[in-house]
Amino acid sequence: MISKQLYSLQIKTQQNFEENLAHIKDLILKCARDSVILAPEVCLTNFCYQRMEEAGEFAKVATDALLALSNDRTIAITMIEKYRDGFYNNLKVFHKGELLHKQSKHKLFPLGNEHVHFQSGDVAEIAPFKLDGLSCGALNCFELRFIELWQRVKGCDLIFVPAQWGKERKDNFETLTKALAITTQSFVLASSGANDNCARGSAIITPFGVAIKDDNKEVISTVADFNAITQVRKYINIGL
């Protein structure tokens, strides 16, 4: 197994899309080379339902910028994109200057009217993918609540969880992300927004359930030793 520097961004999203991208780029450039970085859900635009067309166009600009930044880093981020049949909340992983993985949010949050504004992605897109020898998976915010989706990322070494989790349910987010790490015996990289209505609660959680977190920071980081996965799966054998 290998070691990787992991970063969880915990940032506020402003109304100006360009300023959001500039801020994210600045934070990414301060992250170590060959690291893995996760940003909160739709942090470039937030859920801007009155500006969806604009957000879809801006995703093209953001994609080009993040592809360039990913030459020596891995960047995972979600953004609003438009296809023929409507808008999707897409998680994209940029690696070595290329799009390594993409999945559209399958479970849309009804309290936020996501089902009114977004198309649901194919559940088959929630599937493991390889990153420098690591098996990775992702669950986008509300998807964290569905145990059947946990099964789809079972056996992964690293699971991404971008979110804009409501502050009223902060304990739910922290409990579920920690339980996901323990249940799958994986590292969980969780990134939630820092706006006033958001839970924060971003963390990097080990397969033993140890959470590295700090609600007062924009950037949470640790070096993950993926040998811990072999250790925990051997010590507490649940068939993974």
Q: Which residues contact 155 (CB under 8 A, 6 or more apart)?
A: 128, 135, 184, 240
Q: Is the Cβ–Cβ distance between 118 and 89 less than 8 Å?
A: yes
Q: Note the pTM of the prediction, 2 decimals.
A: 0.98
So what's the pLDDT on residue 224?
98
Q: What is the mean pLDDT of residues 181-193?
A: 98
Residue 37 in tokens: 């970085």
Pull the structure tokens for residue 236. 């507490």
Four-residue CA torsion sign, 220, 185, 166, 44: positive
pLDDT at 2: 87
Radius of gyration (Cα) for the chain, nearest Å? 16
How many CB atoms within 10 Å of residue 122? 9
| The predicted structure's pLDDT at residue 1 | 61
Measured CA to CA, the distance from residue 22 to residue 59 in angstroms comes to: 14
